[in-house]
């Protein structure tokens, strides 16, 4: 009897766990995304088209706002506001709804290509004695020599030199260039820009963070994006849309260093058939670092339910 109970427990847990896993597995889909850009008025119309014969339980939508804008907008202008209209056109016989907590937007990893071009800023002007420099003057080899002449290890210490120079200029005591206030970071990237790639990783990382947090902003008409999607993309039988989305270029912090950058970002959200929405929502992993804890709780809860079922069977027998 004990052997039977144990075997039954293992088999049932396996079935239940496999069922849960299959629900969260991303499905291949054949939806269409169309983009129409009004360059003059800075408006991007994005339409998600669910085809007539579409019958998947779940759809993962990944609208690529930034890549489409790159095709038409060559140069970022400070203070510019790019409007976005996101529309879902459902041609299928199914009704779909937004899956709660499925919206994701990653900006701190992919919003900006990590290629930074050298700016002839005040710090570099100081070690070049304010002379007008050429492309070859700003080579790593030349800067390496100049930094060694004033007590640094060489080019690898360029970020340390920036730290000392701008701490002195602004009477600060920052521990790293990333700790500088925004106006100082802007100063570091103010000056003539040369087509020479920066290789100092500390400077690249600081520029990357500064750009993604202070210059480029993706805005929605409501602060709670998840609630907005729940409200506007609920029970989509035919069409539904969200307008008032915008990309804002902050003129206060934009400099020529960043004006010609290609933009990119990872945006995604999920839709599910109405009869499957509750199941999908129930197993969307929480947006925390406690994903493993969530899975453990799910498994333990399943085990507890199975144990109760087995006990009832034994009592009834």
d(CA 70, CA 63): 14
The 3 state secondary structure assigned to 222-248 is CCCHHHHHHHHCCCECCEEEEEEEEEE
Residues 103 and 58 in one domain: yes
> By the 8 A CB rule, do 42 and 83 touch?
yes
Domain annotation covers residue 204? no
* Model pLDDT, residue 262: 66
Domain annotation covers residue 266? yes
Residues 104 and 245 in one domain: yes
Phi and psi torsions of 300, nearest 5°: -65, -40
* Model pLDDT, residue 178: 96
Domain annotation covers residue 210? no
Label residue 156 left, alpha or beta by phi (over 0 means left) and psi (-120 to 50 means alpha). Answer: alpha
Domain annotation covers residue 202? no
Domain annotation covers residue 209? no
d(CA 77, CA 104): 27
Domain annotation covers residue 88? yes
Of 45, 102, 160, 16, residue with least CA distance to 277: 102
Question: What does pTM read for this prediction?
Answer: 0.65
Segment-wise mean pLDDT, segments of 10 residues, the chain, 317 residues: 40 35 37 85 92 92 82 71 93 95 74 72 94 89 96 97 98 97 96 92 90 86 96 95 90 84 78 74 52 58 64 58
- Which residues pair with residue 150 across a beta bridge? none
Residues 220 and 170 in one domain: no
194 SS3 class:
strand
Task: Quote the DSSP letter at residue 34.
Answer: E
Of 212, 247, 263, 252, residue with least CA distance to 78: 252
Q: Domain range spanning residue 177?
A: 117-197
Residues 48 and 88 in one domain: yes
* Model pLDDT, residue 146: 96
Burial status of residue 48 (CB atoms within 10 A of its CB: 0-12, 13-18, 19 or more) = buried
Burial status of residue 250 (CB atoms within 10 A of its CB: 0-12, 13-18, 19 or more) = middle
Residues 231 and 274 in one domain: yes
Q: How far is CA 43 from CA 86, 248, 256, 275, 283, in A?
A: 11, 12, 24, 35, 36
Residues 139 and 81 in one domain: no
* Model pLDDT, residue 83: 93
Q: How far is CA 312 from CA 230, 298, 305, 309, in A?
A: 40, 22, 11, 5
d(CA 49, CA 120): 48
Residues 261 and 303 in one domain: no
The DSSP code sequence of 79-134 is: T-EEEEEEEEEE-SSS-EEEPTT--EEE-TTTSB-S--EEEE-HHHHHHTTTPPP-
Provide the number of structural domains found in the chain: 3
d(CA 153, CA 161): 10
N-term to C-term CA, the chain: 12
* Model pLDDT, residue 285: 54
Residues 130 and 270 in one domain: no
Domain annotation covers residue 148? yes
* Model pLDDT, residue 248: 85
Residues 125 and 188 in one domain: yes
* Model pLDDT, residue 290: 46
**Six token digits for residue 268:** 């995604």
Residues 190 and 233 in one domain: no
Residues 105 and 221 in one domain: yes
* Model pLDDT, residue 14: 41
Domain-ending residue, one of 163, 197, 231: 197
d(CA 186, CA 257): 10
Domain annotation covers residue 211? no
Residues 138 and 177 in one domain: yes
């Amino acid at each position: 009897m004990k052997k039977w109970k144990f075997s039954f427990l293992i088999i049932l847990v396996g079935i239940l766990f496999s069922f849960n896993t299959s629900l969260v597995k991303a499905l291949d889909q054949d939806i269409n995304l169309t983009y129409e850009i009004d360059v003059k008025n800075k408006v991007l119309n994005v339409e998600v088209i669910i085809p007539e014969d579409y019958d998947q339980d779940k759809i993962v939508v990944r609208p690529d706002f930034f890549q489409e804008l790159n095709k038409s907008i060559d140069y970022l202008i400070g203070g510019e506001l790019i409007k976005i209209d996101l529309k879902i056109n459902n041609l299928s016989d199914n009704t779909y709804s937004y899956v709660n907590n499925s919206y994701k937007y990653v900006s701190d990893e992919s919003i900006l290509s990590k290629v930074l071009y050298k700016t002839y800023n005040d710090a570099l002007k100081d070690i070049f004695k304010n002379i007008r420099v050429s492309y070859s003057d700003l080579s790593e080899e030349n800067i390496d020599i100049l930094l060694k002449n004033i007590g640094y290890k060489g080019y690898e210490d360029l970020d340390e030199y920036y730290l000392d120079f701008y701490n002195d200029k602004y009477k600060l005591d920052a521990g790293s260039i990333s700790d500088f206030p925004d106006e100082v970071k802007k100063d570091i990237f103010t000056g003539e820009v040369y087509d020479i790639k920066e290789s100092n990783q500390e400077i690249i990382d600081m520029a990357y963070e500064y750009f993604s947090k202070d210059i480029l902003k993706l805005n929605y008409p409501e602060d709670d994006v998840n609630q907005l999607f729940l409200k506007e993309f609920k029970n989509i039988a035919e069409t539904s849309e969200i307008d008032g989305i915008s990309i804002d270029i902050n003129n206060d912090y934009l400099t020529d260093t960043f004006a010609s950058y290609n933009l990119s970002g990872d945006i995604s959200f999920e839709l599910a058939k109405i009869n499957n929405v509750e199941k999908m929502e129930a197993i969307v992993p929480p947006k925390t670092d406690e994903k493993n804890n969530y899975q453990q709780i799910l498994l333990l809860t399943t085990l507890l339910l199975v144990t109760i079922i087995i006990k009832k069977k034994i009592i009834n027998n």
